[in-house]
Amino acid sequence: MKSPCYRPAQTELAAYELARQFALGRREFLRNAAGLTLGSTLLGSRLMARSGIPNKKRKVVVITFGGGARDQETFAPEGQENIPHLMRDLIPQSTFFSQVVNRGILGHYVATASLATGVYETINNFASLPPEHPTAFEYFRKDLNRPASDTWVVAPSNGFNRIGESSYRSYGAGSGAKVLLPKHLLTAATTGGSDYAHLLHDNYETPLYTPQLGGSEVELQQLENILRLSVSDFKAHARTLSSPDELSVYIARQLMRQQAPSLLWITLHDIDIAHAGAYSLYVDGIRRTDRLCGEIWKTIQSDPEYAGNTTLFILPDFGRDSDDDAGGNGFQHHRTGDALSRTTWMMALGAGVREGVVFDRPVEPTDLVPTLGAILGFSPSLAQGKTITELA
Amino acid sequence: MLPRDLKSDQFSSYPPEAGKLAIDYIGTMRQMPLSFLPSLLREVIDFDFKFPAERKAVEKELANLRSLPTEQLHAWFQGFEQIRLSPQLEQCDWVSAPAQFLEQLSAYLWTTHQVDAFRAAAIQYADRLRAAVPPEPPVIPRLGIAVIGQGVQTPEEPIFRKLKPHGTYFTGINPDGGLTQLLEAVATRAKAHPADFGHWYVDGGAAADHDPRVTCISYRGLEPARQALSVKLRTEIERPGMGPEALRTLLAQLHPADLGLNSSGPVLDRFQLKLLTEGSGTQIFSTTFAQWTARETLRRAQPLTLLVRFAPRQRQKPMNELLAGNADSGDLDYAGSLIDADLGAYYNWINQQRLAGAEQSSFLVWFENHGEALAIAPAVARGAESNAATRLREVLASMA
């Protein structure tokens, strides 16, 4: 993390007002463009319970939208051209929250860990450490007595390999989700040949740091036993892909086909190329992520294990710095902690979710785990967030 | 150690002018909270290598703080005094290594959820400082110029979208000799209003011929330094225990000579080093380099004139290949570079408008070798369009 500048130009009040206006503007646009109606919290309790889907059948897929995306490149009017699939296909079917305010550390690993635990984690973003509080995966397995095969994480990079289970004493090792790292699978299968190097981009937050990726016999066993993929098929398909996130989605879909986990967490990360400062690559990343979200939704709808009983959540882990904050450099980073870098959005769609509704009351990323608990039937006793009643 | 325990000999490792400045103001510094003082020392320790505008700003800031009665000084720092720091931070050598301290402070503030409080204190301090010591207006209105789209025949997306509401969009420019006209305009200003580091030309490729009074930095010119950095990085990354944070610390400790930067004078050599070691992506993408260099030039040197010419960057590839920097012309991403540069031009304008005299400043962006340009100036209509046949020289004259 870079040191905060001590000479920012904009007042905090003005920044938060701007964020609020963005949210309001986005809501108005969505109401007009996508035909959403303004939601009321009075409408929404125990939707999933009333859906008639038995607890055992319920599934949840969470997608973190790619590594920090700003309003103005996504849901603000000028950004909506970058997300045609979300706008055209997904939004009309979704309940949309226009203000998700992240009050924690704006580093991708630690913010994703906070999303997964319902507590603002404070672990070192750059160290290979497990979250300090129990994850949704651990609550899910312990409370519902589910096997390890019923919850998985597909994560982008080296740093995320510990996100499946916490260091919390009564949970921890062996009680959470296994983490699939598609780049490690590919490295193991190909020994990192040049045909695949473009799929192995890692660690955008410090672009110059290019550590060796792991990849071993364990990964090869995962390919064969869990994903039921031969090395040759995997390599052949990987050759058709253009980015690490495409690889992640390919693995996630294979996982859904072979294991059909009830709680699946997919962390996309291509957008974080923004740290290299090339705006076109950042926008390309958003467009790709938009397309991949559409593909995952199609998979959910077409797979008999998932169709009709799955709730999909899509949300960025946080935004990026505002153009107006002199302490940052606009879209490139998320270092200032300004209101726009903290404020983002979330959509939920599928089973138990009202379609075409937008809520602009602030919610927090830490509210996700209690909401997942209410949908799937586990009790995240240590989570600090609140259940989003409009969804559960 | 706390600021109240500061002693003169602790500044012995500072460069000469920086040490003298720190000792001159040690009494005032002793009254500052630890959550603030290292930010100021980070400016002071580099004093010998700062641009004239920065030196003046630091001196004025210190003089202003010294002039404040004790109770007023406390009021200025009230927000910073509320920040809780750890004993470990107090034990850091924040006098000799303020930048490293600030790295640790930043992590600590995020971890303890005090970033917002620190931010609020910083904003309050900056507002007070601006009111007490207003920045000096420039001797002539500033002029910013951006040249974008080198090598692009037809843009895939509309250009100048963010800037159009602020100025007049010209579509009838005669592009012949356009760059030469712009460089001549910069030279004319440099000749008429000579100032150390007052007039700049930044090129994302190889620099074109320019007036020697103009300070010039180019991506191509820094190629040997970028290669030296790449070699150093590849060696360091393979060391056991190396991680992103350790790498950043290592980069912060490099000297210009480590990258062979020793021909532009101590101030500019140091500036160029920081562009490559503090800028993210400046080492691999020429568009990022041009934008970041412009940002830092405006923020630090506060130039009267700044011409930035963006050039096509290498196509995205795995980081090791990007760092190796062996792209040939076939590997260039022209369309993507235009999008990068178009936003870069917008950022240049925003950053220029943060400086004193913004209401009189002018800005011109030209789609290189094409007939399209956009001019922003007090005398130029906003949100307007002109298809009149003209030349860049004439557009510049109409902006004055």
Which class for A97: exposed (0-12), middle (13-18), buried (19 or more C-beta within 10 A)?
buried
Contact B354, A326 (CB under 8 A): yes
CA–CA separation, A314 and A96 (whole Å) = 10
- The C-alpha of B362 sits at a distance from chain A's nearest C-alpha, in angstroms, of 19
Residue among A4, A6, A78 minimizing CB distance to B115: A4
Report how far residue A84's alpha carbon sits from residue A291's, in angstroms, rounded to the nearest whole number.
Answer: 8
Are the beta carbons of B342 and B159 closer than 8 angstroms? Answer: yes
Q: What average pLDDT does this structure show over A245-255?
A: 96
What are the C-alpha distances in Å from B149 to residues A1, B159, B186, B395? 33, 10, 20, 19
Q: Do B244 and A6 touch (CB under 8 A)?
A: no
Q: For residues A234 and A229, give the distance between their C-alpha atoms in angstroms, rounded to a whole number.
A: 6
In angstroms, the CA B81 to CA B77 distance is: 6
Half-sphere exposure of B54 (CA within 13 A, CB side): 21
User: How much is the pLDDT for A296?
Assistant: 98
Contact A208 B233 (CB under 8 A): yes
CA atoms of B374 and B92, how far apart (whole Å): 51
Cβ distance B113 to A281 less than 8 Å, yes or no, reads no
Task: Give the residue from B341, B351, B343, B348 showing the smallest Cα distance to B364.
Answer: B348
Q: Which of A222-236, A242-256, A309-323, B370-384 has the lowest mean pLDDT?
A: A222-236
Rounded Cα distance, A270 and A202, in Å: 9
Chain A residues whose beta carbon lies within 8 Å of the beta carbon of residue B286: none
pLDDT(B243) > 80: no
Specify the 3-state DSSP secondary structure of A270. Answer: helix
Interchain proximity A329–B295, CB inside 8 Å? yes
Token pair for residue A69?
A: 């995306």
**A4, B101, B106, B121 from B116: Cα distances, Å:** 10, 19, 11, 9
Q: Where are the domains of chain A?
A: 12-376
Q: Which residues of A touch B316 (CB under 8 A)?
A: 198, 273, 278, 281
Output the pLDDT for position A213: 59
| pLDDT top residue among B100 and B373 | B373
Q: Are A239 and B314 a contacting pair, CB within 8 Å?
A: no
Average pLDDT over residues A12-16: 44
CA B95 to chain A, closest CA, distance in angstroms equals 16
Tell me the CB-side half-sphere exposure of residue B392, using CA atoms within 13 A. 27
pLDDT above 60 for A133: yes
- Spatial distance between the Cα atoms of B120 and A10, rounded to a whole number of angstroms: 10
CB contact under 8 A, B283 and A208: yes
> B243 vs A198: CB contact, 8 Å cut-off?
no
Contact B281 A4 (CB under 8 A): no
> With contact defined as beta carbons under 8 Å apart, do B202 and B297 qualify?
yes
Does the pLDDT at position A11 exceed 70? no
- Greatest mean pLDDT range, A223-227, A380-384, B231-235, B325-329: A380-384
Q: How far apart are CA B4 and CA B30, in angstroms?
A: 4
Tell me the mean pLDDT in the region B220-224: 96
Distance from C-alpha of A213 to C-alpha of A192, rounded to nearest angstrom: 9
Q: Considering chain B, what is the average pLDDT of its residues?
A: 94
Mutate to test the interface with A, among B86, B286, B288 (most CBs of A within 10 A): B288
What does residue B345 show for φ and ψ, rounded to 5 degrees? -65, -40
Q: Are A61 and A313 in contact (CB under 8 A)?
A: yes
d(CA A30, CA A37): 9
φ and ψ of A100, to 5 deg = -105, 115
CB atoms within 10 A of CB B212: 8
Distance CA B201, CA B218 (A): 8
pLDDT of residue A255 exceeding 80: yes
Nearest-angstrom CA–CA distance, B235 and B25: 42
C-alpha distance from residue A42 to each of A351, A359, A391 (Å)? 19, 12, 11
Q: Which residue of B has its CA nearest to A278?
A: B340
Name the residue of chain A whose CA is nearest to B312's CA: A278
Query: For the stretch B347-370, what's the b/e string if a residue is b when 16 or more beta carbons lie within 10 angstroms of its beta carbon?
Result: bbbbbbbebbbeeebbbbbbbbeb
**Cβ–Cβ gap B320/A6 under 8 Å:** no
Q: Is the pLDDT of residue B124 over 80?
A: yes
Q: Is there a contact between A279 and B333 if contact means CB atoms under 8 Å apart?
A: no
Cβ-based contacts of B237 with chain A (< 8 Å): 209-211
Pair of tokens at residue A92: 């009309």
Residue with tokens 């009790």: A379
Burial class from Cβ neighbours inside 10 Å (0-12, 13-18, 19+) for residue B85 reads middle
What's the token pair of residue A14?
Answer: 């003005």
Residue with tokens 């740290």: A275
Q: Is the pLDDT of residue A1 over 50?
A: no
- Give A84-113 pLDDT, tens digit per residue: 999 999 999 999 999 999 999 999 999 999
Residue A292: which of A105, A129, A84, A128 has the closest Cα? A84
Q: Which of B131, B4, B390 is nearest to B123 (CA)?
A: B131
pTM: 0.92
Amino acid making up residue A46? R
pLDDT confidence band for A28 (50 / 70 / 90): low
**Statement: residue A6 has pLDDT above 50:** no
Please tell me whether residue B342 adopts helix, strand or coil conformation: helix
Q: Do B347 and A278 touch (CB under 8 A)?
A: no
pLDDT tens-digit series, residues B15-58 = 999 999 999 999 999 999 999 999 999 999 999 999 999 999 99
Sheet holding A263-267, edge to edge: A37-38, A357-359, A94-101, A343-350, A310-315, A59-64, A263-267, A151-154, A178-180
Confidence band (pLDDT; 50, 70, 90) for A290?
very high
State the best of A281, A321, A325, A334 to mutate against chain B, taking most chain B CBs within 10 Å. Answer: A281
**pLDDT tens for each residue of A157-169:** 767 889 999 999 9
Interface size between A and B, measured as CB pairs under 8 A: 153
Q: Tens digit of pLDDT for each residue in B135-187?
A: 999 999 999 999 999 999 999 999 999 999 999 999 999 999 999 999 999 99
pLDDT of B227 over the 90 cut: yes
Separation between Cα atoms, residue A82 and residue A280, nearest integer Å: 11
d(C-alpha B318, C-alpha A213), whole Å: 13
Here the contacts of A225-229 (C-beta below 8 Å, separation 24 or greater) are A226/A180, A226/A255, A226/A258, A226/A259, A227/A185, A227/A251, A227/A254, A227/A255, A227/A258, A228/A254, A228/A258, A229/A254
The verdict on a CB contact (< 8 Å) between B313 and A278 is: yes
So where are chain B's domains? 3-132, 143-223+263-399
pLDDT for B328 beyond 60: no
Q: pLDDT at residue A4 above 90?
A: no
Is the domain A12-376 a CATH 3.40.720.10 member?
yes
The rounded distance, in Å, linking the Cα atoms of B139 and B356 is 11
pLDDT of residue A26 exceeding 80: no
Q: What is the pLDDT of residue B241?
A: 73
Among B80, B86, B115, B118, the residue to mutate for chain A (most A Cβ within 10 A) = B115
- Burial code (b: 16+ CB inside 10 Å, e: under 16) for B88-116 equals ebeebebbebbbbbbbbbbbbbbbeebbe
Residue A43 in this model has a pLDDT that exceeds 90: no
| Cα→Cα distances A231→A64, A155, A225, A251, Å | 28, 20, 12, 13
Token pair listed for B391: 């030349």
Give the residue-averaged pLDDT of B87-110. 92
Ramachandran class of A236: left when φ > 0, alpha when ψ lies in -120 to 50, beta otherwise: alpha
Res A333 pLDDT > 80:
yes
pLDDT at B216 over 60: yes
Give the model's pLDDT for residue A27. Answer: 60
Interface test with B, best of A196, A204, A273, A279 (most B CBs within 10 A): A279
Q: Which amino acid is at A67?
A: G
Residue (of A209, A208, A234, A210) closest to A220 by Cα position: A234
